Amino acid sequence: MKDGTQDIAKDGTQHVATDGTPLLDVRELQVELVTEHGIVRAVDGIDFTVGRGETVTLIGESGCGKSTTAMALLRLLPDGLAVVSGSARIAGRDTVADLAAARAVRGRTVSLIPQDPMTALSPVHTVGRQLGDAIRLRHPALGRAEARARGIELMRQVHIAEPERRWKAYPHEFSGGMLQRVLIAIALAAEPELLVADEPTSALDATVQAGVLDLLMELQERTGVAILMITHDLGVARIVSDRIHVMKDGRFVESGSAPEIVDAPAEPYTRDLLASVPALGPWDEDKQPGPDSAASTPKVIPHG
Amino acid sequence: MPTYLLRRLGQSVLTVFLTLTAVFLLVRLAPGDPAAAYAAPTASAEELVRIRGQFGLDRPLLVQYGIYLRDLVSGDLGTSYSFHSPAFDVVMDRLPYTITLAVSAIAVTVLVAVPLGVWMARRADTRRELGANILTITGQSMPDFWTGVMLLTGFAVVIPVLPASGFTSWGGLVLPTITVAILQFALVSRLVRREMTTALAAPYTTVARSRGVAERALVWRYALGNSAVPLVTAVGTRFAALLNGVVVVEVVFAWPGVGSLVVRALETRDYPLIQATVLITASLAILVQLLVDLLYPLLDPRVRLGKAA
Amino acid sequence: MAEPTDAPLLAVEDLVVEFPTAKGPHRAVDQVSFTVPHGGSLAVVGESGSGKSTIARALVRLLTPAAGRILLDGTDITRLPERRLRPLRRRVQMVFQDPYGSLDPHLTAGEIVGEPLRVAGTRDRRERERRAAELLDRVGLPASAAARRPPEFSGGQRQRIGIARALASRPDLLVCDEATSALDVSVQAKVLELLRELQAETGVAFLVIAHNLGVVRDLSTDLLVLRDGRVVETGRTGDVLASPAEPYTRALRRAAIDPHAVRGIKPRAMLTAATAALSAPTPS
Amino acid sequence: AGPTGLPGPGTLTLGLTRSLVSLDNKLNQFDAAVTVQRAVRQALTTLGPGLKPRLVLADRFEMTEPTAWTVRLRKGVRYADGSPVTVEDVDTALRMYGKVNGSFLLGLFPELPEVEKTADARTFRLRTERPVPILDRLMANIHITPADANKPEELQSGLGSGPYRVARANSGAGEYTLARNPRYWGPKPPLETVRVRYVPEESSRVVALRSGELDVVDTLSPDAAEQLTGLPGVSLERGDGVRVCQLFYNFRKPKNHPLSDPRVRQALAYAIDGEALLRDVLADSASPLRGVVPTNLDGAVETGSFTHDPARARALLRRHGADNLRLTFMWESGEFAGDASVMEAVADMLGDVGVRVTLKQFQPGGDILKWRQGRGGDWDVIGNGFPSPTGLALTCLQGMYAGTAEKERTREAFMGYVFPKIADGIEEASVEVDDAERQRKLAAVQKAIWDTWPALWGFVPKTLLARRGRVRDVGLLPTNSYDLTAVHLEG
Amino acid sequence: MTTAGIPTARTGGRPSAVTARDLARATATRRRSANRVKLWAGSVCTALVVLPILLAQLLPLPDANDQELGARRLPPLTEGHLFGTDQLGRDLLSRVLHGGQVSLTVGVLAVVVSGLIGIAAGAAAGYFGGWMDAVVSRVLEAQLALPLLMMLLLVVALFGSSVTVITAVIAVAQWPEVARLTRSLVLVEREKPYVAAARVLGLRGLTILARHVVPNVVRPVSLVVLLLLAQAVLLESALSYLGAGPERPFATWGRIISDGQDYLTTSWWLITLPGLVIALLVVGVNLLGDALRDGGGRTSRTKAAKADGGTA
Ligand SMILES: Nc1ncnc2c1ncn2[C@@H]1O[C@H](COP(=O)(O)OP(=O)(O)OP(=O)(O)O)[C@@H](O)[C@H]1O
Ligand SMILES: Nc1ncnc2c1ncn2[C@@H]1O[C@H](COP(=O)(O)OP(=O)(O)OP(=O)(O)O)[C@@H](O)[C@H]1O
Ligand SMILES: [Mg+2]
Ligand SMILES: [Mg+2]
Name the nearest CA neighbour of E198 among D228, C94, D180: C94
pLDDT at residue E8, rounded to an integer: 43
Q: What are phi and psi of D383, to 5 degrees?
A: -90, 120
pLDDT of the residue at E68: 84
The closest alpha carbon to A113, from C270, B200, B218, B203, belongs to B203
The answer to whether residue A300 scores a pLDDT higher than 70 is no
Q: Which chains touch A (3 or more CB pairs under 8 A)?
A: B, C, E
User: Domain extents for chain B?
Assistant: 92-268
Atom of ligand 2 nearest to the CA of C57: 18
At E275, which helix (H) or strand (E)? helix E269-294
Question: What whole-number distance in Å separates Cα of residue C49 and Cα of residue C52?
Answer: 7
CA distances from D149 to B54, B89, D98 (A): 21, 21, 16
pLDDT of residue E67: 84
Which residues neighbour D75 within 8 Å (Cβ) at sequence distance 6 or greater? D59, D122
Alpha carbons C115 and C117: distance in angstroms, whole number: 5
Report H helices in chain B.
2-29, 34-38, 45-55, 61-73, 87-122, 127-141, 144-152, 174-201, 203-210, 215-217, 224-226, 228-242, 247-252, 258-267, 271-299
Q: Helix, strand or coil for residue D278?
A: helix
First and final C-alpha spacing in chain B: 16
Q: What is d(CA C166, CA C115) in angstroms, rounded to the nearest whole number?
A: 10
> Which residue from B70, B100, B81 is spatially nearest to B36, judged by alpha carbons?
B81
Whether residue C188 contacts residue A61, with contact meaning beta carbons closer than 8 Å, is answered with no
Q: Report residue B115's pLDDT band, with 50, 70 and 90 as the boundaries.
A: very high
CA distance E36 to B130: 12
State yes or no: pLDDT of A100 exceeds 60: yes
Are B113 and B188 within 8 A, CB to CB? yes
d(CA D298, CA D240): 13
How is chain E split into domains, by residue range?
A: 100-295
pLDDT band at C5 (very low <50, low <70, confident <90, very high): low
- Over residues D43-58, the mean pLDDT reads 91
CA of A66 to the centre of ligand 1 (A): 8
Residue among C50, C127, C126, C63 nearest C94 (CA):
C63
Q: Kindly state the percentage of chain D with pLDDT values over 70.
A: 98
Average pLDDT score over chain C: 87
Q: What is the pLDDT of residues D336-349, one digit of tens each?
A: 888 989 999 999 99
- Segment E71-126, tens digit of pLDDT: 888 888 888 888 988 888 889 999 999 988 988 888 889 989 999 999 999 999 99
Of ligand 1's listed atoms, the one at least distance from the Cα of E3 is 29
Does the beta-carbon distance from A208 to C47 stay under 8 Å? yes
pLDDT by residue (tens digit) across A210-237?
Answer: 888 988 998 899 899 999 999 888 888 8
Please report which confidence band the pLDDT of residue A287 belongs to, taking 50, 70 and 90 as the band edges.
low
* Burial call E107-133: b when 16+ CB within 10 Å, e when fewer: bebbbebbbebbbbbbbbbbbbeeeeb
* C125-138 helix and C109-119 helix, angle to the nearest 10 degrees: 120
- What sign for the dihedral angle of Cα E213, E219, E221, E222? positive
The b/e string for D156-186 (b: 16+ C-beta within 10 A; e otherwise) is: bebbbbbbbbbeebebbbbbbbbbbbeebbe
> Ligand 3 centre from C210 Cα, in Å?
23
Instruction: Give the up-direction half-sphere exposure of residue D359: CA atoms within 13 A in the CB hemisphere.
Output: 24
Question: Residue A15 falls within a domain, yes or no?
Answer: no
- CA D488 – CA C69 distance, rounded (Å): 96
Ordered domains of chain C (ranges, CATH): 10-256 (3.40.50.300)
Contact check, Cβ <8 Å, C119/E202: yes
Phi and psi for C146 in degrees, rounded to 5? -55, -30
CB contact under 8 Å between B232 and E38, yes or no, is: no
Residue E232: pLDDT band by 50, 70, 90 thresholds? confident
φ/ψ of D178, rounded to 5, equals -105, 135
Q: How many beta carbons lie within 10 A of that of residue D244, not counting itself? A: 27
Single pTM value for the model: 0.86
Helix/strand/coil percentages in chain A, nearest 5: 40, 25, 40
- Whether A63 and E1 have beta carbons less than 8 Å apart is answered as yes
Give the pLDDT confidence of C169-221 residue by residue, as tens digits.
989 999 999 888 778 888 888 888 888 998 998 899 999 998 888 888 888 99
Whole-number pLDDT of residue A19: 57
Pairing of the two strands C92-95 and C75-76: unpaired
A43 DSSP 8-state letter: E
φ, ψ of residue A62 to 5 degrees: the values are -55, 135
- Identity of residue C26: H
ipTM, two decimals:
0.84
Confidence of residue B5 (pLDDT cuts 50, 70, 90): confident
Shortest-distance atom of ligand 2 to CA C226: 21
Numbers of helices and strands, H then E, in chain D: 15, 20
pLDDT tens profile C37-82: 999 999 999 888 889 999 999 999 999 999 999 999 888 999 888 8
Pocket test for ligand 2, best of C16, C18, C19, C27 (most atoms within 8 A of CB): C19
d(CA A158, CA C14): 39
Strands D216-217 and D11-16: parallel
Element (H, E) at C35: strand C24-36
Q: Name the nearest CA neighbour of D171 among D21, D393, D375.
A: D21
Q: Tell me which chain B residues have a C-beta less than 8 angstroms from the C-beta of D204.
A: 149, 152, 164-165, 251-254
Bigger pLDDT: A299 vs D133: D133
Around ligand 1, the residues with Cβ closer than 6 Å are A 33, 35, 40, 42, 60, 62-68, 81, 115, 232; E 3-4
Per-residue confidence band for A296, with pLDDT thresholds at 50, 70 and 90: very low
CA distance D326 to D307: 22
CA distance D353 to D270: 10
**CATH topology for the E100-295 domain:** MetI-like fold (1.10.3720)
| Proximal ligand: closest to the CA of A208 | 2
Percent of chain E with pLDDT over 70: 89
Shortest Cα–Cα distance, E12 to chain B (Å): 32
Residue A177 lies in a domain: yes
Crossing angle of helices E130-145 and B2-29, in 10° steps, is 60
Q: What does the pLDDT read at residue D270?
A: 96
| Beta strands across the sheet bearing D68-73 | D58-65, D68-73, D123-127, D114-117
Distance between alpha carbon C16 and the CA centroid of its chain, in Å? Answer: 19
Q: Is the pLDDT of residue D233 over 70?
A: yes
Pocket of ligand 2 (CB under 6 A): A 205; C 19, 21, 26, 28, 46, 48-54, 211
Domain B92-268 classification at class level: mainly alpha
Give the torsion sign (CA, D58, D60, D61, D67): negative
* Strands ordered across the beta sheet of C10-21: C24-36, C10-21, C67-72, C75-76
Largest CA distance in chain A: 57
Higher pLDDT, D367 or D441: D441
How far, in Å, from the CA of A69 to the mean position of ligand 1?
A: 10
Q: Which of D296-305, E29-38, E115-124 has the lowest mean pLDDT?
A: E29-38
Give yes or no for C149 touching E (CB within 8 A). Answer: no
Q: Give the domain range for residue A181.
A: 118-189
A41 CB neighbours in chain E (<8 A) are 6, 8, 10, 14, 16
Is residue D180 a contact partner of residue D191, using CB atoms and an 8 Å limit? yes
Q: How confident is the model at residue D309 (pLDDT cuts 50, 70, 90)?
A: very high
Residues of C in Cβ contact (< 8 Å) with A218? 268
Please give the distance, rounded to the nearest whole angstrom, from the Cα atom of residue C214 to the centre of ligand 1. 27
Structurally, how many domains does chain A consist of? 1
